[in-house]
Amino acid sequence: MIYRIVHRTTYKYKNPVSLGNHVACLKPRLLQHQQLTQTELRIHPLPATETERVDYFGNLLCFFTVQEPHKQLVVEARSEVIMQDNTSPWPQQSPPWEMAAQSLPNDLSTEGLKAYQFGFESPRIRVRPEFADYALQSFTPGRPMTDALLDLTARIHKDFRFDSKVTTVRTTTEEVFRKRRGVCQDFAHLQIACLRSLNLAARYVSGYLRTYPPPGKPRLIGADASHAWVSAYCPGVGWLDVDPTNNLVPSNGHVTLAWGRDYSDVSPLRGLILGGGAHTLKVAVDMEPLNSD
- State residue 219's pLDDT score: 58
Domain 97-266 has CATH 3.10.620.30: yes
- State residue 212's pLDDT score: 75
Q: Check: CB of residue 11 under 8 Å from CB of residue 27.
A: no
CATH for 2-84+267-289 (2.60.40.2250, 3.30.70.1450, 2.10.60.10, 3.60.70.12): 2.60.40.2250
- State residue 80's pLDDT score: 96
pLDDT-flagged residues of the chain (< 50)? 222
- State residue 265's pLDDT score: 97
- State residue 88's pLDDT score: 65
Is-same-fold flag (2-84+267-289; 97-266)? no
Q: Check: CB of residue 228 under 8 Å from CB of residue 208.
A: no
Q: Is 275 left (phi over 0), alpha (psi -120 to 50) or beta?
A: left
Pairwise CA distance, residues 195 & 156, whole Å: 12
- State residue 222's pLDDT score: 44
In the chain, where the domains are located: 2-84+267-289, 97-266
